[in-house]
Amino acid sequence: MDIKANRIRKSNISLMFVCLAIILFFAIDSMFAQETEESVDESTMNIKLFYLGPDGNTYLPEYRQIAKYDNTTDQAKIALMELIRGPMTNLIPTTPKGTQIRALFIDRKQCAYVDFSREIIQNHMGGVTAELATIASIVNTLTANFPKDIHKVRILVNGKEVRTLAGHIDITKPIYPF
């Protein structure tokens, strides 16, 4: 019985060393990955763009890298341009084709005013769900990526306030994240 107990004990010790080696490997790998991420490129930043999931009912993030600027306004504008470009995965686009950003500014109350071209209305597919998806993806993309500077969003079209994008959802007031 002593021989069998010694074998089991040796087997357990060997297994413990293998487990420790694996844990140590992943810990070192993780530390190296963090150092690499931080030192990769200080001229870019990671952002989350919100699109509709494949089920058409949930908002899911898609991650991208954009140029890093000294001011939030330029970074926010680039983030929205990426959102408009559409997803690179199986997510569903939320902004109509041809939509452009005419201007973007952020006021002292942390409200981002985004002036879109008329295509956001003219090329919109319509319907409550599609309109909500467009608005939610814009607002969530801006507020999630720039939480210190943007808490709410106003959507303008061709420099003017509009009541809705597709006839259903009132956008005459600032919109908070969904």
CA-to-CA distance for 177 and 143, rounded, in angstroms? 7
Q: What is the pLDDT along the chain (178 residues), one digit of tens a residue?
A: 566 555 555 554 544 444 333 444 444 444 444 443 443 568 899 999 999 999 998 999 999 999 898 899 999 999 999 999 999 999 999 999 999 999 999 999 999 999 999 999 999 999 999 999 999 999 999 999 999 999 999 999 999 999 999 999 999 999 999 8
Cβ-contact 52, 143 below 8 angstroms: no
CA atoms within 13 A on the CB side of 61: 13
Inter-axis angle of helices 128-145 and 72-85, nearest 10: 140
Entry pTM? 0.76
